[in-house]
Chain A
């Protein structure tokens, strides 16, 4: 060790440096932009289907970018009938994947960690959750929607991840983090 050769050490150091250049430029993970492209957790489409016999109303939200809602579309197929009870079914999809991924299935499978919350600005429109998770608490994929008198307003649907369950049915009090929040303008006639 006393005969340590400084030039050899410098050479070694230089070789190490150059070799990392070579190695890194050969490595195959350089061109993996393609698999960076998809946002897998994205919810692009929210479909709320309200059915009462032959009366079917679809509320469809679509935003394929996942970013700001500037490009988002809200499609309401028609108005709801007054004093009617509808069966509501929610479907969440990621349409950037092909075929579109059905996220509702994931939410259902992890029902004890998720819950939908509904709120409407129309006073006598009520939405009740009819499905339950493994602990017997509501999830909200399936609902029963009762309309009262005619009027116009909004329905807001919020999906929370890890809310406090059970809760008082108000999303603000349930905590958790919001995975989706969509508001539709509707009318009851």
Chain B
């Protein structure tokens, strides 16, 4: 209504004051873009003049006696981003101007609070400084410093993160807002992520992030890039690291250019190489790695609209301990009994067989637009190509041919609408379509472990966050996902008809083509997944807050659980998927009591998960082949329960001394068989004391201890096998767990001024200070060799 009067007023002015050259007026109203509320006290200036105006209690301003012409107006308000507009004045003018309150979204994160994925979620983050400590290590290594997070390893360079004992398809890995699809189903498939490309890595425990998927039974790992300030700037950094163990390291450089207009570009590249690592007593022959990573990001970071494009390329080559290549179960017994790897050679940078070679391309383009007084609409397209080649020791012409060669192509289109005009109620809703194609590349000379398939997905979600009052918030959400998988696979006729009875269970999958002992089939499955979340958070006095989350998640079986079929050499086992496997459904409860305070802070976070139809891979029997006897590991479904508690404590002892510690306790039960769950992390705790002197080049010295207790809760899948040479049964102990171990690390760092504005950070670290020989239960190669011995590390980081 006001606007109408002003229009009338302006019109009147127009008719009365014509052609008076320097007697024009420019009036207007300043409102918040976000919720259309009036902005009082905003200052306006006509650039290059001394004409100023301030908005009144109605948000109105007025410039008088101005000449016709083109002007730039600068509008400032204390809580808003400064805005410049161009206006051409030929007559008396009225203009509505909007300003934004969302300063923190445009700049580097200024405010400490509200950086969470969901306000009510239970999460922990690693920031850039902590990520830099792991510049030459992997994502899994970096994350396992957090309480409740452990890792499932294959040797020391293939590290899979695990949250509350769950890994692979049960964790969503979100890289730059793109869900990673890199054949994450395999135990020995580490995520193809270069942590150097990220600014912040967040672990969300529990299943309360419906935006990214309905199957986050274990949780979510969010890898986020930096948001750049809207200003003209050029900066970069280079970090290089050298390690005595493995005689290698890495060099990572990044350069960023930002413009006042909101445009930005970033280029990052990383090269990493290690030779054979060393356990305290011997070299781990064929354990080196080589990795080249690069990423490029460009974007326009406006308030009302913007876009960004991102491309990253990861090329990893991992050598796999030569001693772990075994033929059959007798070879495994020999390896277990010998206690030392059978191949111990001198140090070498060579990457021989067995090895993995993986490339991963990820590209995305994203655009967003804010709608005045309503919210933000964004749309994103992403594309990923993952090529995984696993090389084994082979005979003759196949020597240089991979045993596994898979190419997974994934692309998705998603839109996301955030309705955030109301301070109390914020809604987020979105839809997604995805198409995925796996191509088992021909020419490997083996039957592919994972067959060719096409997968179609569509999903929709809605979450709502309601702020009851200044200290209490509720969150609720719902998500539905449809997925369909069409596969093409040749089965052994005997397996199809006799072993698994598929000819009666799934006659519709048969194509009618039988080629010798192989039957050609086209299995097709459709799944409907529902998931939901409920969250509650409340803040109390003394920086204390409480979070309570419930999450319902369901996950369809992954291609490996459905289709895998064949011999896994490095594990000396036959792995079998089953077409009868159905989805698993999890109920997650997690509570977290937190005190966020530098003097004395803590996080106490108990959790409970009940998983209906938990899909596990366990040994079920023995098959004897021409190569000898192999344990058969089959996927089956049970009811599982996982519960535990994560505790983090930080305490300022004195001005310069700080204490930090955490402990993770977990128990996993197979309720169907009334035994422990396989591959659950044991109790571990970390204590560290650090000394920081801000006056002396920010000198920091810290001593850490990590202790991992022996896992006494494990299912006994040991078995006997007939040894043809000895003509007797031998006992195969694949279940017993290695003893507890305790490791000490020292980290020191200092920062020096360098160049004009830059800085130089020097670090000297020692890992496994006392050169302890130990084995870790969650390392798939624990039967064959010890973990790494002492390592001296030097890091140099230059900011410019």
User: Which residues in A have some Cβ–Cβ distance to B below 8 Å?
Assistant: 1-2, 4, 6, 9-10, 12-14, 16-17, 20-21, 24, 29-30, 32-33, 35-44, 46, 61, 63-72, 96, 103, 106-107, 109-110, 114, 117, 119, 121, 154, 156, 158, 160-162, 164, 170-172, 175-183
Contacts and interface: CB of A to CB of B under 8 A. Distances in A.
Nearest to B334: A172
B305 A6 contact: yes
Contact of B445 (A20, A41, A154): A41
**Which 8 pairs between the two chains have the least Cβ-Cβ distance?**
A178-B327, A40-B445, A177-B327, A106-B396, A175-B342, A181-B628, A13-B381, A35-B442
A65 B627 contact: no
Contacts of B393: 161-162, 177
A37 B515 contact: yes
Interface in B621-636: 623-628
B411 A20 contact: yes
A154 B727 CA distance: 9
A2 B230 CA distance: 14
Interface string B464-498: 00000000000000000000000010101011000
A17 B381 contact: yes
Contacts of A70: 494
A41 B398 contact: yes
B626 A33 contact: no
Interface in B427-449: 433, 435, 437, 439-443, 445-448
B583 interface: no
Contacts of B443: 35
A20 B516 contact: no
A64 B727 CA distance: 25
Nearest to B495: A67
B231 to A, nearest CB: 16
Nearest to A21: B435
* Residue among A36, A106, A107 with most chain B CB within 10 A: A36
Contacts of A154: 724, 727
Nearest to A71: B494
28 contacts: A1-B300, A6-B305, A6-B367, A9-B307, A9-B365, A12-B365, A13-B413, A17-B411, A17-B412, A20-B409, A35-B442, A37-B518, A64-B516, A67-B494, A68-B623, A69-B623, A71-B494, A103-B395, A107-B395, A110-B395, A158-B725, A161-B393, A162-B325, A170-B725, A175-B334, A178-B326, A178-B628, A181-B328
Interface in B672-720: none
B379 interface: yes
A13 B725 contact: no
Nearest to B443: A35
Contacts of A172: 330, 334, 725-726
A6 to B, nearest CB: 5
A61 B302 CA distance: 73
Contacts of A1: 261, 263, 300
Interface of B: 261, 263, 300, 302, 305-307, 323, 325-328, 330-331, 334, 342-343, 365, 367-369, 379-381, 383, 393-398, 409, 411-413, 433, 435, 437, 439-443, 445-448, 451-452, 488, 490, 492, 494-495, 515-518, 520, 569, 623-628, 724-727
A176 B331 contact: yes
B490 A33 contact: yes
A171 to B, nearest CB: 6
Contacts of A178: 326-328, 330-331, 627-628
Nearest to A118: B725
Given A2-B261, A32-B442, A37-B515, A43 B305 contact: no
Contacts of A121: 727
B623 A67 contact: yes
Given A156-B725, A175-B343, A183-B724, A4 B626 contact: no
A181 B300 contact: no
B585 to A, nearest CB: 30
A177 B342 CA distance: 11
Contacts of B433: 17
B305 A4 contact: yes
Contacts of A156: 724-725
B257 to A, nearest CB: 14
